[in-house]
Structure 1
Amino acid sequence: MIAEPTNTGSMQDAAIDALDPVIALLALVQSTGDVSLLRKYGPALEGTQHQVKEAFVAFDTPLEPSAASLEVAREVRDLLRAAVRSGRPPVLATLDKPLFREMARLALGLEMPEMSIDVAYQHGGFTTDTRVRKPKRLPPADFKVLVVGAGMMGINAAVKLQQAGFDFQVIEKLDAVGGNWLENTYPGAAVDTPSRVYSFSFEPNASWTKYYPVGPEFLAYLERVTDRYKLRERITFNTTVEGAQWDEERKLWKVNALQDGNKVVFEGQALIMAVGPNNAPNYPDVAHLDTFAGPVIHSAAWDHSVDLEGKKVVLVGTGCSGVQVANAIADTVGELVIIQRQPEHIIPNPAAHDPVDELERWAMEHIPFVVQWKRLQSLASAMQDMHGMVMKDEEYAAKTGGFGPINDGIRMMCEAYLKSHFPDDPGMVALLTPSFPVFAKRPILDCGFYETLKKRNVSIVRGALAACDEKAVILADGTRIECDVLLLSTGYKLFFGRQFDIRGSGGRTLKQAFDPYPFSYEGMLIPGFPNFVFMGAPYSYLVANHAVVSEQQVHYAIELLQWMVDDGLSSVDVTESAARAFVEDVDANLAKTAWVQCGNAHGYYRDHSRKVILAVPRHNSRIWHDTRSPRTGDFTVTRRPEMGPAVEPEMAMLTI
């Protein structure tokens, strides 16, 4: 890292000199408005080292820059330096589609599919989420929206409801915002998605200290967004929702909750469930678990009062949270025994613990559009078609016995990475090698797990936890392991609202609607539950980049509510036929994926029946286009008895 200069001028010079020349050129073009600079310097910068590292930080393939590109980089940085020193605002604050496509191709080193251009422009943070429906009316005073949950999705919904002019109330069970990031305080808790992506496109953060931020830093980000938009006064804290009922006569939702020991009821014309599917810790069904004399701690409900210093600890689970816990506590405990039900594919991730360079952070904070182009590079995977990764290539499989060329390529990379850590230990390699393709369950970006396994006080055992006695855990094969503390990194129960008493039209419960298995329309709506948006519902997850999908779901919710306001509707309910058509399309494609083809892989995409109900095999860009605006023919509606006069369109236009 270059030493931090002692004054602003030298900091500016050093930051620009250290800036990826590709990013410097893109920022220069927007700053000056001189598009000819892109054509003059761009060709010499294609494929340069910084670009590849930033775009695919987990698959870094360093390239040596040519002498010509080094000279171009110097010229570009000098021009950017002059533009920044001028103090003038950027000339190109917005970009037309052809120019953005050209600039994005240089930023990513590849041509984006046509369907991804608008998606990249929005989620890169170059524009706020432009409304599709031009509002004809302002939301009436008696139209209130209830939001359950003040985590990432709930905060997103609150911001957009506020900007669209809706009256709303957020109901939160905890005493602060943050959701999972407030509850998950286990050692090593961190985001395994790049920080620039795991944040709101309308509120990019230029000041991340790590490429993959730890829990407290991400929680602080959510708190800043909450305060920036003055949302706290609209959030009712320490209030636990117990159920909700649709009042058919009054066309509103009644939400029953417990607040300070008292039962309270909230009423609203629409209800947005924003608690997410990973809401409740999953405690394994273990015989005599309550007889274990030592502490039993779930990673999602960490007990910080328990001192692990010098203790013999058994850790159950090697998913994302499990490996993070293992890395964090290995040097503290006396002995760590890790129980692995089945191995996971671990992807090399050299930036897992890296701090963001001080000069890079300065550039993002002070040079316009640097943070947006950096964000777009981190979004590269979300802009690509995942089918080649998760869909089985039958022709390829028949010829090679593999799954698909891209999937097999990633699997071989993971296996080579594993072998590089244990070159002289074939037994460990065999123990840690999955029997299923990559993405059959969520792969792990390495945060140092293999290195942790090399420590003298750490061991790993293949098996399933079956029972406990007073002093030990007992595996399914009868192996007994004594320990002082039992840690459970066993994930979450898929929520999907079944734990609440949610009743729609005719008093039908959500549990009844989800028999024999949960489903949804567009990952958000359930027939028979009018004016109800269930964010993170079945068939909503893309396995990765859910922060991107949740923004799209909030956008859709606002479009749906604005349609109700404009057309004077008191209720909108997706039809059973539309929902079933959506589910049939998803299920037909799911049948071709690693998630279904490899049913022996345990993963949180499945419910208790082993059916995949969370993940959806759809291109992120397709989801974006499909959720731009409701297809009104897919709904049954009722109208309000009276409507106020329409306002002038320009009076109703609010940025969202």
Structure 2
Amino acid sequence: MLTYKIRDQFKYRDFMDHVIYEKNHDIGGTWLENRYPGVACDVPAHIYTFSWEPNPDWSEFYVGGEEIFQYMKRTTAKYDLARDVVFNSKVVEAIWNQGRGKWELKIEQEGRFIWDECDIFINASGILSKWKWPSIEGINSFKGHLVHSAKWEDNYDFAGKRVGIIGNGSSAIQIVPKLQRVAGHLVNFMRTPTWISATYSAEFLPDGKNFYYTEEQKAEFRNNPKLLAEYRKKIENSFNKFFYALLNDSPGQAAVTEQYTRIMSERLGNDPELIKKFIPSWRVGCRRLSPGEGYLEALQAPNAKYTWDTIERITEKGIVTSAGEIELDAIVCATGFDVSFVPQWKMRGLNSSTFDKWRDDPEGYLGIFAPNMPNYFIVNGPNCPVGHGSLLSVMEWTTEYIIRWAKKMASEDIKAVIVKSDVVREWNVYAQEYLKRTVWSSGCRSWYKNGKIDGKVTATYPGSVLHYKEVLETIRGEDFDIQYSEPKNRFSFLGNGLAALEMNKDADLAFYMYK
């Protein structure tokens, strides 16, 4: 996305060089890494699409991870977007050199190291990219097949096996129905119940369930771009409205609570005991919502079992809970990621500042800036709109905002931009006060709160996605300390007093006049 915006949309290539260091062997990010059975996106495919590259050929309303990955591969090839990517290159260190106004980078490439430097350092590594094993005693002692959902291994056959799945978040909800069909016996280990929601934008779905587009529909989308654009706009409009349901005690919250309670009750066969066990007491949306078609049904199958008994440890043979040991052939850890927003590399900013505080309390500004980190921008940082709306739209607006800063810095000879500490403080006070109005602050354990039940909401934005878009349309230079390369006079960049186009003797010097 960054390459397309710089080179093709804004055509800033003449004054802005960039390189992308990618730790993996290929493009795709989460859709390259997450290969577990059932992996899919819970955002409708036609809006989980780059705005500048609609895809009339999506197979379903909601598509699987492989189809998204192939769409990204095609788009990359079409626009030659991999030209500025260096693969198998993992940033391991970033140190700010105040005297030179540069980030000095150390990059690991297949066992060797190279060094680079940059004026502007952008972290686009994503939120859900640092998977982690659960902190369970004895996890390394298990003699069977042990795998994490974010580091899937395709060489194991689950057919007929005794399978344990730890977790009931989005990944586990997608994995369970797939493995239940082939496993001899499956056990889902959970800490607390979770809401299984209706699919987003359900008004576009017959019977509220996912569906395949016909060949005739796809051909119509291909032959009529205007029709496709209108269809995508309707879905996006519907998707953005869901934010209102995430406000405490709103009519929208009451409506989705009633709807999801009814849906879960039906999937649980209207069994009062199961309803009591599976329907949460906390508000809808407090945790990331998961449509989860087939999940509750799979847990009620004859070869499946679920338990909320506390996991005490893992042994050579299986998992020991407070109720006893369950012997297993395979354990799947769908236990999530490090969501502290701490970079995956060693990083030191102004006055050797680090991100140590962020492990418990990540405080940034607009989800883009970090204190004491000059010329450092984050795509999807703390308190960005990650829980409401299409993330691709949010990432596109964020990228455009960063590029506007880069253009300003390049054209005005700015050495360093640092968000002011009092601005960060006031922004976070505002954000947390606002977020008390939302369901994210209600009593559930959530990665939106860095894995805590109580405390600050560190992941989601205090407002709607449209509110975020409007905020990013203005740079708000007053919120930053700006240092110029020429400290004696900040206007040195104005040069000889002529516009660049005046250097061309044949230039149209009345371009601003219209007939």
Q: What is the TM-score with the length of structure 2 in the denominator?
A: 0.89
Partner of 2:214: 357
1:542–1:620: 8 Å Cα contact kept in structure 2? Answer: no
Query: What is the distance in 1 between the residues matched to 2:239 and 2:417?
Result: 31
Query: What is the distance in 2 between the residues matched to 1:411 and 1:385?
Result: 13
Partner of 1:633: 478
Matches within 5 A, 1:445-460: 445-460=291-306
Partner of 1:648: 501
2:369–2:376: 8 Å Cα contact kept in structure 1? Answer: yes
Secondary structure of 2:69's aligned partner:
helix
Secondary structure of 1:167's aligned partner:
coil
Partner of 2:308: 462
Aligned-partner residue type, residue 536 of structure 1: N
Please say if 1:496 is aligned against 2:349: no
Partner of 2:232: 375
- Summarize the Cα distance change of 1:230–1:179 in structure 2 as closer, same or farther, 3 Å threshold: same
Give 2:223's match in structure 1, choosing from 363, 366, 385: 366
Aligned-partner residue type, residue 308 of structure 1: F
Matches within 5 A, 1:201-350: 201-349=51-199
Please say if 1:199 is aligned against 2:49: yes
Describe the superposition over 1:478-536 as per-residue Cα deviations: whole angstroms up to 9, x where unpaired: 33211110111111111513442111111211225x37611111110112111111111
Matches within 5 A, 1:21-420: 156-163=1-8, 164-165=12-13, 166-349=16-199, 353-384=210-241, 386=243, 388-393=244-249, 404-420=250-266
Describe the superposition over 1:17-45 as per-residue Cα deviations: whole angstroms up to 9, x where unpaired: xxxxxxxxxxxxxxxxxxxxxxxxxxxxx
How far off is 1:453 after superposition? Answer: 2.5
How far off is 1:285 after superposition? Answer: 0.8
Aligned-partner residue type, residue 577 of structure 1: D
Secondary structure of 2:338's aligned partner:
strand
Please say if 1:560 is aligned against 2:417: no
Count of aligned positions:
482
Query: What is the distance in 2 between the residues matched to 1:510 and 1:421?
Result: 45
Query: What is the distance in 1 between the residues matched to 2:39 and 2:442?
Result: 31
Describe the superposition over 1:81-109 as per-residue Cα deviations: whole angstroms up to 9, x where unpaired: xxxxxxxxxxxxxxxxxxxxxxxxxxxxx
Aligned alpha-carbon RMSD (Å): 2.1
Query: What is the distance in 1 between the residues matched to 2:84 and 2:340?
Result: 25
Secondary structure of 1:307's aligned partner:
coil
Secondary structure of 1:445's aligned partner:
coil
Query: What is the distance in 2 between the residues matched to 1:547 and 1:480?
Result: 44
Secondary structure of 1:492's aligned partner:
coil
Which consecutive residues of structure 1, in runs of 5 or more, have no partner in the other structure? Answer: 1-155, 394-403
Partner of 2:446: 603
2:198–2:208: 8 Å Cα contact kept in structure 1? Answer: no
Secondary structure of 1:272's aligned partner:
strand
Secondary structure of 2:422's aligned partner:
helix
Describe the superposition over 1:419-465 as per-residue Cα deviations: whole angstroms up to 9, x where unpaired: 22233522222221111110111121132212322322122222333
Query: What is the distance in 1 between the residues matched to 2:3 and 2:147?
Result: 33
1:408–1:437: 8 Å Cα contact kept in structure 2? Answer: no
How far off is 1:617 after superposition? Answer: 2.8
Partner of 2:203: none
Query: What is the distance in 2 between the residues matched to 1:318 and 1:231?
Result: 36
How far off is 1:538 after superposition? Answer: 0.5
Matches within 5 A, 1:410-559: 410-423=256-269, 425-475=271-321, 477-512=322-357, 514=358, 517-544=361-388, 545-559=390-404
Query: What is the distance in 1 between the residues matched to 2:408 and 2:474?
Result: 9
Aligned-partner residue type, residue 107 of structure 2: A
- Summarize the Cα distance change of 1:448–1:647 in structure 2 as closer, same or farther, 3 Å threshold: farther
Query: What is the distance in 1 between the residues matched to 2:310 and 2:103?
Result: 44
Secondary structure of 2:18's aligned partner:
strand
Aligned-partner residue type, residue 375 of structure 2: N
Query: What is the distance in 2 between the residues matched to 1:510 and 1:247?
Result: 17
Which consecutive residues of structure 2, in runs of 5 or more, have no partner in the other structure? Answer: 200-206, 487-491
Query: What is the distance in 1 between the residues matched to 2:184 and 2:378?
Result: 45
1:245–1:253: 8 Å Cα contact kept in structure 2? Answer: yes
Structure 1 range deviating more: 491-500 or 216-225: 491-500
Query: What is the distance in 1 between the residues matched to 2:270 and 2:209?
Result: 25
Aligned-partner residue type, residue 370 of structure 1: L
Describe the superposition over 1:394-413 as per-residue Cα deviations: whole angstroms up to 9, x where unpaired: xxxxxxxxxx4321221111
2:340–2:359: 8 Å Cα contact kept in structure 1? Answer: no
Secondary structure of 1:487's aligned partner:
strand
Give 1:572's match in structure 2, choosing from 408, 412, 417: 417
2:128–2:338: 8 Å Cα contact kept in structure 1? Answer: yes
How far off is 1:385 after superposition? Answer: 7.0
Secondary structure of 2:331's aligned partner:
strand
Partner of 1:116: none
Query: What is the distance in 2 between the residues matched to 1:420 and 1:217?
Result: 31
1:316–1:487: 8 Å Cα contact kept in structure 2? Answer: yes
Query: What is the distance in 1 between the residues matched to 2:310 and 2:500?
Result: 63
How far off is 1:283 after superposition? Answer: 1.5
How far off is 1:377 after superposition? Answer: 1.3
How far off is 1:248 after superposition? Answer: 0.9
How far off is 1:332 after superposition? Answer: 1.2
How far off is 1:635 after superposition? Answer: 1.3
Describe the superposition over 1:309-328 as per-residue Cα deviations: whole angstroms up to 9, x where unpaired: 11010111111110111111
Query: What is the distance in 1 between the residues matched to 2:451 and 2:268?
Result: 36
- Summarize the Cα distance change of 1:306–1:215 in structure 2 as closer, same or farther, 3 Å threshold: same
How far off is 1:647 after superposition? Answer: 2.3
Runs of 4+ more than 6 Å apart: none
Query: What is the distance in 1 between the residues matched to 2:267 and 2:209?
Result: 17
Aligned-partner residue type, residue 392 of structure 1: N
Describe the superposition over 1:329-385 as per-residue Cα deviations: whole angstroms up to 9, x where unpaired: 221111111112212111233565421222111111111212211111111244437
Secondary structure of 2:129's aligned partner:
strand
Secondary structure of 2:225's aligned partner:
coil
- Summarize the Cα distance change of 1:316–1:241 in structure 2 as closer, same or farther, 3 Å threshold: same
Secondary structure of 1:481's aligned partner:
strand
